[in-house]
Amino acid sequence: MNLYCCQFDISWEAKQANFEKVRKLLECKLPVPGSLLVLPEMAFTGFSMNVALVTQDAPGSIEFFLADLAKRFGIYLVAGLATQAPNGRGENKAVFVMSDGHIEGTYQKVHLFSPGGENLYFQPGDTISKFYWQGGCVVPLICYDLRFPELFRSALPLGAELYVIIANWPGPREDHWVTLLRARAIENQAFVAGVNRCGRDPQYEYSGRSLIIGPDGRILAEAGRSEEIVWADIDWDVVRKYRTQFPVLADRHTCHLQRIGN
């Protein structure tokens, strides 16, 4: 099965322009039917804190675009978007769409990026989500979540075999992005796909470097710093055999904290 990472320079708060950009990228590199295509965090607006603006749209237009894209190419999709909660705060989400256009579910970002003020405008989720693609278990996470390994560990009992991290990860911390993606793959013995944006917005510059990593930490595909789609073949037997042959996860133990001294 093919996994595609679509990395592009997100036009700031301009949904229609981003719809067109994604269409053109896919027309240049037609995905194989049945594949999984992943787009970045808040893929159609950029990492904007203007909740009212980025969530104001014709009802379901982003979902309609994704459903149409899935049906047109016969592919599965994970993409980032923003919605608005009844209390007016934003919800930074990953949506997963089946190849028939059906929206299977969403994941709401648990760890909000307080250095960028995200916690002031958005509200965190509190649930890990999963979906199945071609017989394997996929867990989507979002950007800053990458810095919290306990979230990835919490997904293992769900059967996680592929973690998909969609992001707007700034260029100055590019080394962190690459290192942490490889670490999450190695420690959980799982495939990891990190899909970042490139270009810049009014606040940050982004270096791209989208990656697909195998359960042993080996880089299977890597994007540069410009718009492109990279892909790798995903074989679930690779994860399952690796976990059996090198059963690190079976040796985990829970430790209890003990206070020493006064």
Q: What was the pLDDT predicted at 59?
A: 56
Q: Is 98 within a domain?
A: yes
Q: Is 28 within a domain?
A: yes
- CA-CA distance, 171 to 178, in Å (whole number)? 11
Tokens of 257: 């904290």
Please give the helix or strand (H or E) that residue 229 lies within, else none.
strand 228-233
Q: What is the mean pLDDT of residues 97-120?
A: 97
Q: For residues 63 and 95, is the Cβ–Cβ distance under 8 A?
A: yes
Q: What was the pLDDT predicted at 57?
A: 74
Q: What is the mean pLDDT of residues 222-249?
A: 97
Q: For residues 163 and 152, is the Cβ–Cβ distance under 8 A?
A: yes
Whether the predicted pLDDT of 21 surpasses 70:
yes
Tokens of 233: 């073949």
Q: Is 261 within a domain?
A: no
Q: What range defines the domain where residue 20 resides?
A: 2-251
Q: What is the mean pLDDT of residues 248-256?
A: 88
First to last CA, the chain: 57
Task: Mention every residue, 6+ apart, whose C-beta is less than 8 A from residue 91.
Answer: 82, 83, 84, 85, 108, 109, 122, 123, 125
Q: Please write the tens of the pLDDT for every residue from 185-198.
A: 999 999 999 999 99
Q: Is 257 within a domain?
A: no
Task: Mention every residue, 6+ apart, whose C-beta is less than 8 A from residue 64.
Answer: none
Tokens of 153: 């560990």
* 6 labelled catalytic: no
For the chain, give the mean pLDDT.
Answer: 96
Whether the predicted pLDDT of 248 surpasses 80:
yes
Q: What is the mean pLDDT of residues 13-23?
A: 96
Q: For residues 198 and 225, is the Cβ–Cβ distance under 8 A?
A: yes
Which of 6, 137, 143, 198 is flagged as catalytic?
143
- CA-CA distance, 230 to 186, in Å (whole number)? 21
With a pLDDT cut of 70, the percent of the chain lying above it is 98
Query: Is the four-CA dihedral 45, 46, 51, 53 of positive or negative sign?
Result: negative
Which of 5, 6, 41, 118 is flagged as catalytic?
41
Q: What is the mean pLDDT of residues 55-74?
A: 89
Whether the predicted pLDDT of 53 surpasses 60:
yes
* 5 labelled catalytic: no
Q: Is 245 within a domain?
A: yes
For the chain, what is the domain count? Answer: 1
> Is the pTM here over 0.85, yes or no?
yes
Cα→Cα distances 39→59, 78, 95, 149, Å: 21, 6, 10, 22
Q: What was the pLDDT predicted at 105?
A: 95
Of 162, 231, 233, 223, nearest to 196 (Cα)? Answer: 223
Tokens of 73: 């190419």
Whether the predicted pLDDT of 12 surpasses 70:
yes
Q: What was the pLDDT predicted at 67?
A: 96
Whether the predicted pLDDT of 118 surpasses 80:
yes
Whether the predicted pLDDT of 83 surpasses 90:
yes
Residue entry with tokens 């014709």: 58
Tokens of 150: 């306990």
CATH (domain of 175): 3.60.110.10
Q: What is the mean pLDDT of residues 57-66?
A: 83
Whether the predicted pLDDT of 68 surpasses 80:
yes
Whether the predicted pLDDT of 260 surpasses 90:
no
Whether the predicted pLDDT of 240 surpasses 80:
yes
Q: Please write the tens of the pLDDT for every residue from 220-232.
A: 999 999 999 999 9
Least confidently predicted of 22-31, 52-61, 97-106? 52-61
Q: Please write the tens of the pLDDT for every residue from 141-171.
A: 999 999 999 999 999 999 999 999 999 999 9
- CA-CA distance, 242 to 234, in Å (whole number)? 14
State the amino acid at position 210 in one-letter form. Answer: S
* 71 labelled catalytic: no
